[in-house]
Amino acid sequence: MAKPLQVEVYNPNGKYRVVSTKPMPGTRWINLLIEQDCRLEICTQKKTILSVEDIISLIGDKCDGVIGQLTEDWGEKLFSALSRAGGKAFSNMAVGYNNVDVNAANKYGVAVGNTPGVLTETTAELAASLSLSAARRIVEADEFMRAGLYDGWLPHLFVGNLLKGQTVGVIGAGRIGSAYARMMVISRCLVHLTYGQFLKANGEQPVTWKRASTMEEVLREADVGPVIDEVALVEHLKVNPMFRVGLDVFEDEPYMKPGLAEMKNAIVVPHIASASKWTREGMATLAALNVLGKIKGYPIWSDPNHVEPFLNENATPPAACPSIVNAKALGLPVSKL
C-alpha cells in the first residue's frame, strides 16, 4: 500500500472538509474557509505534480470540495471520486481550465471554478518584460557578467534591438492583450491589435488559429493551450540569430522541445506570468471562495471579470461564488448583488 500523502490540517473539527492539493500563497484564503466551519487539509507532499491516484487518496471517503492546480488531470476518475465522497465543488487556481473535463464534472454535478479578473495586469507585465528583455538581450548579458567574462566595453557587445517606433502585433485583444498593448505604447511602440479574422482577411497565418465557438472555449485555452509550434520555432531561431523570443508557457508543459534550452536568442521562464504576490494571493482567495460558495449554497457572481469585491481584505466577501464555468450547465442561480 502506498504511503499516505503529507497534509497540514486547519480547524480539524470543522463541519465541511475541503482539500487543497497544494499550499497556496497568503493566509486569507485559509482564514475564510475555517471561519465558515471548514476543516481544511493542505497537501504538503514534496511532489510537484500529483497523480490522479494521489488526489483520489486525498479526497478519501468524505470531501465537500477540492482546490486544485492546472497541472492536474481532472477528468472522469477524479470527479467520480469526488462525487462518491459527497463533493459538489472543485476550483482550479487558474483562469484557464484545459486540464479539466467539464463534461465529466457536469455528469457528476460538480461545479468547476476558475479565477479570472485578477491576472490581467501581472500577466501583461511579464509579457512586456519578456519583450524588452529579449530585444535587449538582458538574460545573455546577465549570464556573461556572472561568468566573469566582462573585461571592458566593446562596440559590438550584446547589441540588441530598439523597440521605440517598432510595430508590435498583439494576437487576441482581450483583457491581457489590451493591457500589454497599453504598456508597449508607453514604450513608444506602434501597437497593432489583431483577431483571427483580421489575419485571415489579410492572408496571414503566423500562428495556427481557429475562431472559438463559445467564450468557454476561449477561457479553456487561454491559460496554457498550445499556441507555438516549438519544433518550428527552434529551427527559426537557429537560422535567424537576430530573431528573439520570450516564452512563459510551453507546448508540452512542463517539457520544452529539444534544442530550445540551448537557444541564446530565447528567454524561457517557468510559467510565472501570474507570479506576483498580490495576484497569486488573489487567485488563492477566489479559488477558495468558489468552493466555499458552492458548499454554502451561494449563487454565482454575475460578472466574474470584476471580482474586486472578493479581494478587498478589509471587507467581508460577497455571498456568492466568484466564477463557476459550468454554472449554466448545472442550472445554478446567478447572484443579484
Q: What is the pLDDT of residue 82?
A: 98
Type and span of the H or E element at 179 = helix 175-186
Q: What's at 114, amino acid-wise?
A: N
| Average pLDDT along the chain | 88
CATH superfamily of 120-268: NAD(P)-binding Rossmann-like Domain (3.40.50.720)
Q: For domain 7-118+276-330, is the CATH number 3.40.50.2300?
A: no
Residue 170, beta-bridge partner list = 193
Cell numbers describing residue 326? 459550468
Q: What is the pLDDT of residue 277?
A: 96
**What is the pairing mode between strands 65-68 and 16-20?**
parallel
Cell numbers describing residue 321? 461564488
Task: Report the candidate in 102, 114, 57, 99 with the shortest Cα–Cα distance to residue 81.
Answer: 57
Report pLDDT digits (tens) over 227-262. Answer: 778 999 999 999 999 899 999 989 888 899 999 999
Pairwise CA distance, residues 82 & 87, whole Å: 5
Q: What is the pTM of this model?
A: 0.84
Q: Do domains 7-118+276-330 and 120-268 have the same CATH topology?
A: yes
291 phi and psi angles, rounded to 5 deg? -70, -45
Task: Report the candidate in 334, 329, 298 with the shortest Cα–Cα distance to residue 316.
Answer: 298
Domain residue ranges in the chain: 7-118+276-330, 120-268
Q: What is the pLDDT of residue 204?
A: 44
Report pLDDT digits (tens) over 205-215. Answer: 444 434 445 44
Report pLDDT digits (tens) over 299-314. Answer: 999 998 899 999 999 9
Sign of the CA dihedral with 269 first, then 273, 277, and 283 last: negative
